Structure formats: C-alpha cells, structure tokens
Amino acid sequence: MRKRHSRAAARRGRGGRADATPANARVPPLSVVILAAGEGKRMKSALPKVLQPLAGRALLEHVIDTACSLAPQAIHVVYGHGGERVRSALAGAPVSWTLQSQQLGTGHALLQAMPKIPDDHRVLVLYGDVPLIGHATLLQLLELAGADALSLLTVRFDEPDGYGRIVRNTRGLVQKIIEQKDATARERTIRECNTGVLVSPARRLRSWLERLTTANSQGEYYLTDVIALAVKEKVPVRALLTLQPSEVLGVNDKAQLAQLESRCRARRAGELLAAGVTLADPARVDVRGTLTHGRDVFVDVNVIFEGRVTLGDRVHIGAGCVVRDSEIGADTQVQPYCMIEGAVIGPACLIGPFARLRPAAMLAAEVHIGNFVEVKNSRLGAGSKANHLAYVGDAELGSRVNVGAGTIVANYDGAAKHQTTIGDDVHTGSNSVLVAPIVIGAGATIAAGSTVTHEVPPGKLTIARAPQTTVESWQRPSKPKK
C-alpha cells in the first residue's frame, strides 16, 4: 500500500531510470482504474476528499482528465465515502463507477473493478487524491510494461517516513514492496518509495488480487503484495523512478492541498512563461481552468483566471483582476481590480479600473468601461463609452454612445427584466435613469438628472425632470437643545 499523504521535502530522483527495456510486442487494450474511495478524515470537511478543489477543479477531475489523455478503452472509478455525492458532482465524466462498500485496503478496492475488465487488457492503477501525475510519465510506464510485464512508478525521498519501500535484490531487481509498519529497521533506511501507480496485465492482476491476505500489521488487503507474487511467478517487474517527485504527491489534509495548489500554480505559470506570456510575478498568478492566449500578453500580479479564458495579442491584464469564462480581444487593456465573467470583449477596449462585466456582456471594438461601471447581458457598439458609476443591464447600445456618470438602465420591475435599445451617437447626461422597456433614437441627448419612461425621438434633447423650485420660507429642522 502506498503512503496516503504527501511530503513537502521531496527530493528529485536521479533520473527516470527504468529497470529494463520492454520487448517490442502487440500492445493490449488499456483499462484505467482510479481508486477514489478514501474518507479523508484529516480534511475536516463535509466535502469528500476527491471533490476538494485544486486549481478550481475537483482532485478527481484532474486524474480523470489525465487518464482520458491516454485514450483507454475504459476508465473505472472505485468510490466509497461521499458515495452518490461524488457521482453526482462528476456525472458528466466518461467513467464507469464501482462502489467499494467496505474499505478493506487498496487491493480490495482494485478487486471491485476487475469484473468489468477483460483478461486481455492491461490495467493502469491511479489514485483520486494524486492529481498531478503527468501524461508523459504514464506513457513511459505503459511502454515499460509492454504486453505482459508489470511496471511500477517509484520515487526517491530524503524523508520517506510513512511510505512503502522498494526492496531490491543484489542485482538491483525489485523483489517486493514493504509497508513501513511491517518493515525492519534496515528496510526503513531505503529511500526508494512506492507511489502506488502501476501497470499490469489484467489476467495476471486478477489472479494475484484474489490471492491477497490480510496477514499484515493493518489487517488490510495490500495492493503492494502483488509485486512479490509477480516475482514468485517470474513475471518481469520493471520500476520507473520518476523525475518529478511532485507529480506523485497525494493529498490528505488542507496543508497538503495548499502545497499542491502552490505546485500546480507554479507549473501553470511556467507553461505560460515558456509560451511567451509576460508575468509580473509568476508566484502571484492563478490559472484555474484553460487559458488560451496570443502574443505579447502581459499579466500583472494577483490575477485569477477561471474556466475557459481567451486573451488576444497584446492584451494587458492589470493587478488584482478576476477573469472567468471570457474572451478578451487584441490590444485591450484591463486595468486593475476588475471582475469579468462570461463576457466577450472586442479589440482595443479599455476596461476599469474597478469595473464589473457580468455574463453576456458583449463589447465591440474600442469600447470604454470605466471605474464602478457594471454591464450585464448587454451589447455595446463600437466606440461606446460608460466611463463612470453606471449600470447597463439588458440593453442594446449602438456605436459611439456616451453613457454619462451615474446613468442607470432600470431593467427590472420587481418581477421581470425588460429590454432597452439605444441608437448610435446617443448621449445620456449624468444621473439619468432609463426605465425599461424603452427605445432611445439615434443621436438623442438625455439631459442630466432625467428619469426617462417613454420612447425618445432621434436627434433631440429630452428633459425629464421636475422644474427647479426654491421655497423661500422653508427652515431646516433643528434639534432641541440639551
């Protein structure tokens, strides 16, 4: 059994070393089994462990995505704690679900999925709480297993406390894996550790799993015991020492989750830098989803990208912005502390600072959205501007519209949303209220302080406010003296 938690002090192994080169043979079909039945008590959370978020997605989602990248015939997820909540959260995942109703060890968990796997398949075993396992590493492991060998992924730690140890003979061949609780003092000095990730022919694996016993210190069916059974049957056992210890670290508590979040953030930042994106500080950028970008993009500090985000050439994102499921066109400047969600922003726009674009905000080229302006479910034509303290909701604006400071599109009557249509070249004065549904003709001007409730003709000045009156005899109320 592998150790169920991570080590921050992991040291890099010396090098992706494999014990042998597999023979060139027909590659059998692949089935992937993800063991995800752990309870995760140390998380101290009502959320099942494999649903804990990493980079904006559940731990188990990361593992499923990596498994999908290998194009297997099937992916089987063995679940237990959290039960239907896990299945419901990942209902759209392309996996087959298997319940482990009793948690009797990793060998027992894997055995639950084996009835669904044909004998002529190979089985790759992954873990729902080891989310950073790499595609390239798994390809190496599969190649190493070939058609009829067993391959396992190992890692070398300076501080291997808690991990199962890889026991080799004098010729350097793997003989068995010994759990720390069952290890001798000499075996505990071994630095090469088990990750739990392995590849095996399904027919052989099924036979070994059925012969496991609970004769160990924890009274569980250890998956690791199949190694000794393979050696006994003279099946080649080939170990691959990972070059990246961080990719095999697991998660068992919030501290370890935070460590992996940091590693994941650093990995994504490194990918962006390698692709030519300028990051003001790589340690202070979070990519919690998919970020597609053009050339010469600049991202300032403390920026968060969530979901699917696309940035065009020369986009500049200021400090402290959150961008979620949005598209930002070339040469657009997003100034600091903006919230952008579900928006499509055209080229050469100027956004912020302190602006909010809500879902279905669509901006054409050269639109300006200034400080403390909110746009929701609205289209703004080319060159239109709302520079200060405005709300635009459920509206269609033409080109070159100027929305004055304090303008409110009053789209909600308490029961339903209503549409506002504003033609080209309209100017609204400061502190205007446009009460939807309403149409404002092209070239119209709305006087400052107007509350407009009827259609506005094109090219005219419309004033909708009470005449100014001064009450000469009025006196301000005064407080009684104490």
**Active site members:** 388
Beta bridge partners of 311: 293, 328
Q: How far apart are CA 271 and CA 312, in angstroms?
A: 17
Residue 427 tokens, joined: 């100017």
CB atoms within 10 A of CB 359: 12
Task: Report which of 72, 188, 204, 60 is spatially closest to residue 127, judged by C-alpha positions.
Answer: 60
CB atoms within 10 A of CB 273: 13
Q: How far apart are CA 154 and CA 168, in angstroms?
A: 12
Strand bridging mode 461-462 / 438-440:
unpaired
CB 285 within 8 A of CB 299: yes
Side-chain-side CA neighbours of 470 within 13 Å: the count stands at 1
Task: Report which of 331, 266, 315 is spatially closest to residue 323, judged by C-alpha positions.
Answer: 315
φ/ψ of 8, rounded to 5, equals -70, -25
Side-chain-side CA neighbours of 193 within 13 Å: the count stands at 29
Q: Which amino acid is at 482?
A: K
- The four Cα atoms 251, 257, 263, 265 give a dihedral, to 10 degrees, of 140
Helix (H) or strand (E) holding 230: helix 225-232
**What are the E-state strand segments in 358-426?**
362-363, 368-371, 374-376, 379-380, 385-388, 391-393, 395-397, 402-403, 408-410, 420-422
